């Protein structure tokens, strides 16, 4: 006999004679013939009807990208009302405002993360998963956590007459800028300090610093000064927030990134006798 398995569904058993409703939640296997309602009898007062509802969840991708319009056209820049923006060449650097811009920034980071492993199996699935997680992380960070201010900065193509672009095709670069507080005893980010079990943040104005992370540029838009100009805009934005020190970490083996940061005005911090939490990276500070 064929059966159907029902998990965590609500089964309503209605007895009209007693006018009472009994509700039970349980896992049960019901033969198919029991799901058929007998309609031959005219005495409905003695009949018991079994109603079963099975809800099918939407696809995972639909849940995570709900509300996103991937064909959305890039609105004109005046509609954003941005006073803090930096124009250079054919591009504009500013803070991201649209969910589609957050998503494109997340996808650029996924592309950059998997750039050297494009031949791996299932790489497209990995990139999409990475982008979904990063998209949600960007949204959380930009809402503000524990008094920290974070913004996702993007570089977008300038408007051109008679040319309409989608948001996805307009965003060509991205980075994160966060305003943080030094922990008690820290003189630079990531320093190993001897502190009590429950250390606190010194939230005085002079103990704040800017931190840049997740810098990447689309392959098709590289070698056009986008990364340098986004960094300059991020540093200026931090200073407008009252922060004088701006830091970034770079991997010791990434000579291209080190050259980029040093060209923009960053210098390696001489930690001296102090120890850093990560021995695989250099800490750079903006000094110009």
Alpha carbon separation from 212 to 47, 130, 190, 215, 256 (Å, rounded): 70, 20, 14, 8, 17
Catalytic residue (choose from 102, 209, 211, 261)? 261
Q: Please report the beta strands in 59-191, taking only residues with DSSP state E, as ranges in sequence order.
A: 86-88, 91-95, 149-157, 171-181
pLDDT value at 210 more than 90 = yes
Q: Residue 111 and residue 250: Cα distance in Å, rounded? A: 18
pLDDT 10s digits, 83-109: 688 999 999 999 999 999 999 999 999
What's the average model confidence in pLDDT over 24-53?
Answer: 43
pTM above 0.85, yes or no: no
Judge whether 171 and 108 are in contact, CB under 8 Å: yes
261 an active-site residue?
yes
- Edge-to-edge strand list for the sheet holding 149-157: 86-88, 91-95, 149-157, 171-181, 208-217, 246-251, 281-286, 266-268
User: Span 11-39, mean pLDDT?
Assistant: 43
DSSP collapsed to 3 states, 20-34: EEEEEEEEEEEEHHH
Mean pLDDT for the chain overall: 76
pLDDT of residue 193 exceeding 90: no
In sequence order, the 6+-apart residues with CB closer than 8 A to the CB of 287 are 265, 266, 267
Q: How far apart are CA 188 and CA 140, in angstroms?
A: 25
- Overall average pLDDT of the 206-213 stretch: 89
Q: What is the mean pLDDT of residues 179-188?
A: 82
**Backbone dihedral angles phi then psi of residue 114, each to the nearest 5 degrees:** -105, 15
C-alpha span between 48 and 44 (Å, rounded): 8
Model pLDDT for residues 103-134, shown as the tens digit of each residue = 999 999 999 998 888 788 888 899 999 999 99
Centre a 10 Å sphere on the Cβ of residue 50 and count the other Cβ atoms it contains. 13
C-alpha pair distances (Å), 129 with each of 17, 125, 180, 238:
54, 6, 28, 31
* Cβ atoms of residues 56 and 124 within 8 Å: no
pLDDT of residue 149: 86
């Amino acid at each position: 006999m064929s059966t159907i398995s029902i998990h965590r569904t609500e089964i309503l058993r209605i007895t009209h004679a007693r006018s009472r409703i009994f509700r039970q939640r349980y896992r049960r296997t019901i033969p198919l013939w029991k799901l058929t309602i007998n309609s031959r009898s005219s005495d409905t007062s003695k009949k018991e009807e079994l109603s079963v509802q099975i809800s099918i969840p939407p696809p995972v991708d639909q849940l995570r990208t709900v509300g996103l319009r991937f064909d959305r056209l890039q609105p004109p820049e005046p509609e954003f009302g941005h006073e803090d923006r930096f124009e250079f060449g054919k591009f504009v650097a500013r803070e991201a405002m649209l969910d589609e811009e957050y998503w494109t920034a997340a996808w650029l980071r996924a592309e950059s993360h998997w750039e050297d492993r494009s031949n791996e199996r299932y790489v497209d699935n990995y990139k999409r998963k990475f982008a979904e997680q990063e998209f949600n992380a960007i949204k959380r960070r930009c809402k503000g956590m524990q008094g920290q201010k974070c913004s996702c900065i993007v570089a977008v193509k300038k408007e051109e007459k008679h040319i309409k672009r989608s948001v996805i095709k307009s965003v060509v670069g991205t980075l994160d800028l966060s305003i943080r507080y030094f922990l008690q005893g820290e003189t630079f980010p990531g320093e190993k300090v001897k502190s009590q079990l429950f250390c606190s943040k010194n939230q005085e104005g002079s103990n704040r610093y800017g931190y840049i992370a997740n810098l990447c540029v689309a392959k098709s838009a590289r070698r056009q000064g986008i990364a340098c100009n986004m960094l300059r805009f991020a540093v200026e934005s931090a200073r407008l927030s009252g922060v004088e020190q701006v830091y970034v970490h770079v991997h010791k083996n990434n000579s291209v990134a080190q050259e980029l940061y040093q060209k923009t005005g960053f210098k390696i911090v001489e930690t001296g006798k102090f120890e850093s939490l990560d021995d695989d990276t250099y800490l750079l500070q903006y000094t110009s």
